[in-house]
Homo-oligomer: A and B are copies of this chain.
Amino acid sequence: MVVKDCQLGKNVNIIEPVNLYNCKIGNNCFIGPFVEIQKNAYIGDFSRIQSHSFICEGVTIGKNSFISHGTMFTNDLFDSPDINSWIMRKTYVGDNVRIGSNTTILPVKIGDNSIIGAGSVVTKDVPPNCIVAGNPAKILRKLGD
């Protein structure tokens, strides 16, 4: 298990093997096996990162959010003219967000309480309180409607 130079809150439960480095993880978080979290990523209190997920530099996840298995975040839109350099993009996930398994998250903002269906590819911002799904992900409905 590699956990290197991380700021870990209280009661963080980490299932090995993982690869976490220079990231900040809040209190009462769960980190499943086969997870990588890169430098300068931030996971808020009570959030859970399930197995096989990848959280890259530039990602901020709020409180009490649930990131299911095999979720891949990205921070590079391949828009650098030089393949050997890149422009780092940022992603913000709000509080109480649920992201389904095998989901791909481009650099976007996902609002509080929203739900991302399993297998989605999220290419645009998601407002709060929405359910989205598909490739590319589209809004299916607002919560409460």
Q: Footprint of B on A, CB under 8 Å?
A: 2, 15-17, 19, 32-34, 36, 51-52, 54, 56, 64, 66, 68-70, 72-74, 76, 78, 83-84, 96, 98, 100-104, 106, 115, 118-119, 121, 134-136
**Do B66 and A52 touch (CB < 8 A)?**
no
Can you identify 24 A-B contacts, CB atoms within 8 angstroms? Answer: A15-B19, A17-B34, A19-B34, A19-B51, A36-B51, A36-B69, A52-B70, A54-B101, A68-B72, A68-B74, A69-B74, A73-B101, A74-B100, A78-B98, A78-B100, A83-B96, A83-B98, A101-B104, A102-B102, A102-B121, A118-B121, A119-B135, A121-B135, A134-B136
Contacts of A74 in B (CB 8 A): 68-69, 100-101, 118
**Contact among B17, B78, B101 for A115, CB-based, below 8 A:** B78
CB distance from A124 to the nearest CB of B (A): 13
Which secondary structure dominates where chain A touches chain B? loop
Count of this chain's copies in the oligomeric assembly? 3
**Do A72 and B69 touch (CB < 8 A)?**
yes
CB-CB nearest in chain B for A64: B83
CA distance A104 to B64 in the complex (A): 24
